[in-house]
Amino acid sequence: MQKQLLERIENKTAVLGVVGLGYVGLPLAVEFARGGLRVVGIEVDPRKVEMLNRGESYVPDVPSAAVADLVRRGLLAATTDYAELRRADAVSICVPTPLRKTRDPDMSYVVSAADRVTEFCHPGFLIVLESTTYPGTTEEIFEPKLRERGFTLGQDVFLAFSPERIDPGNAKFGVRNTPKVVGGATAACTEVAVALYRLAVDTVVPVSSPRAAEMVKLLENTFRAINIGLANEMALMCDKLGVDVWEVIEAAATKPYGFMKFTPGPGIGGHCIPVDPLYLSWKLKSLNYTARFIELADAINSHMPEHVVTLVADALNEEGKALRGARVLILGAAYKPDIDDLRESPALDVMVELLERRAEVRYHDPYVPEVRLDGAVLRSEALTAAALQAADCVLVITHHSVFDWGMVRKHARLIVDTRNALKGTHGSARVVKL
């Protein structure tokens, strides 16, 4: 079975299924199709399936022209039917792994995908999980289901974990030129999975097991979460000491060794950094161990939206205004610049806190036309001189490159800048930095 599957991968007659066609799954599916494999995407949202089969993309990093070309050539198709996996040789699972409100892992999407994929598993089939999760997931969830169906790992079916490394909005690094870590349940599983991913990725990095590969992704994002937490705490300390944290960071960054620049902000967003370290922390609690760095960084980062609202309230107080009833215009709702992704965006927490304190909240984001909060729906408003002049406070949350910061500083009266976006601009506005 291994030899036959390797031959099909090598001569590009293998068919790949991709479960979940979002920010991770669609770029992956497109890159494999570009590499010459026929790809069938499985997506629960019928609207997305219809768009893709018409040759239209809904992910900003994936051009519609590329999708249309691959669909026309018969290399890419989408469906809601898992039964299509009967005709596939391999499947990559890219489903969400969010946190519950109790901040423990919600594994329901992975478990559901595992049930459906193993239902249509057949001899000579490779299953790769890409969804970020706690160490042990691949072995604990998939292996028992495959054994129940009489399969032997590494002989008639193959299982691996390969963490996604998609960075939405990154114009430099995509699927093809970002090294791919792969860990199989057996040596044969690793060999097959490595062969598959070499069709879509320039550099594949094999590791000893799925558990090691799962831990790699958690280390990557825990590293970032902790260092962002340090930068955020540095901002809080500099505020107490009357020091400009941005000046301190820029000066420290001139050191040519031993320092990596991280910057503070209104909180952390996206599906990875606010979520992934807590998967590791949760797993370690079951082993009677407290991941102290993770817990501390999470506490600091989670506090930042509240700190931003306090900055706004204090800045308004200096102007003789109360936060209650004040007109606050927020610039940027997405969790990072130049994308439309709202997942875990700190802007949402800031908006909720401002509304609870009875401020009049408006926002502008050219990438996010609408924001739905508990009990409120906000719509992006045009960024005009009149809108800036009417605001009691302009709050910078996301520093999109399309914003005209000179205009913002010229027409606003009071600005709270959480991203150091107005550095080097001139105008009459009073600017309060994070």
Domain ranges of the chain: 2-212, 246-433
pLDDT of residue 102: 85
| pTM for the predicted model, two decimal places | 0.92
- Per the document, the length of the chain is 434
How far, in whole angstroms, is CA 64 from its chain's centroid?
21
Q: Rounded to whole angstroms, how far apart are CA atoms 288 and 292?
A: 12
CATH 3.40.50.720, applies to 2-212: yes
Residue 272, pLDDT score: 87
pLDDT attached to residue 213: 98
Enumerate helices (H) and strands (E) in the chain, giving the number of each.
15, 15
- The residue with tokens 């107490």 is 240
CATH topology agreement for domains 2-212 and 246-433 = yes
CA distance 138 to 431: 50
H or E segment and range at residue 283: helix 276-285
| 63 three-class SS | coil
Query: Within a 10 A sphere around the Cβ of 147, how many other Cβ atoms?
Result: 12
- What pLDDT is recorded for position 374? 85
d(CA 301, CA 279): 16
Helix (H, G, I), strand (E, B) or coil at 191: helix
pLDDT of residue 271: 83
The token duo for 185 is 């349940």
Compute the distance between CA of residue 325 and CA of residue 328 in angstroms, rounded to an integer.
9
Tens-level pLDDT at each residue, the chain (434 residues):
999 999 999 999 999 999 999 999 999 999 999 999 999 999 999 999 999 999 999 999 999 999 999 999 999 999 999 999 999 999 999 999 999 888 889 999 999 999 999 999 999 999 999 999 999 999 999 999 999 999 999 999 999 999 999 999 899 999 999 999 999 999 999 999 999 999 999 999 999 999 999 999 999 999 999 999 999 999 999 999 999 999 999 999 999 999 999 999 999 998 889 999 999 999 999 999 999 999 999 999 999 999 999 999 999 999 999 999 999 999 999 999 999 999 999 999 999 999 999 999 999 999 999 999 988 899 999 999 999 999 999 999 999 999 999 999 999 999 999 999 998 878 889 999 99
Fold of 246-433: Rossmann fold (3.40.50)
Which of 203, 197, 156, 157 is closest to 178 using CA atoms?
A: 203
Name the 3-class secondary structure at 100: coil
pLDDT of residue 98: 92
Distance CA 169, CA 109 (A): 25
3-state secondary structure of 72: helix
**Catalytic site residues?**
272
Q: Return the number of other C-beta atoms located less than 10 Å from residue 409's C-beta.
A: 21
Pairing of the two strands 376-379 and 370-373: antiparallel
Cα–Cα dist 200/187, whole Å: 21
Predicted pLDDT at 344: 93
Q: Encoding tokens for residue 257?
A: 């060794």
Q: What is the pLDDT of residue 427?
A: 81
pLDDT for 324 equals 97
- What is the DSSP code (8-state) at residue 99? B
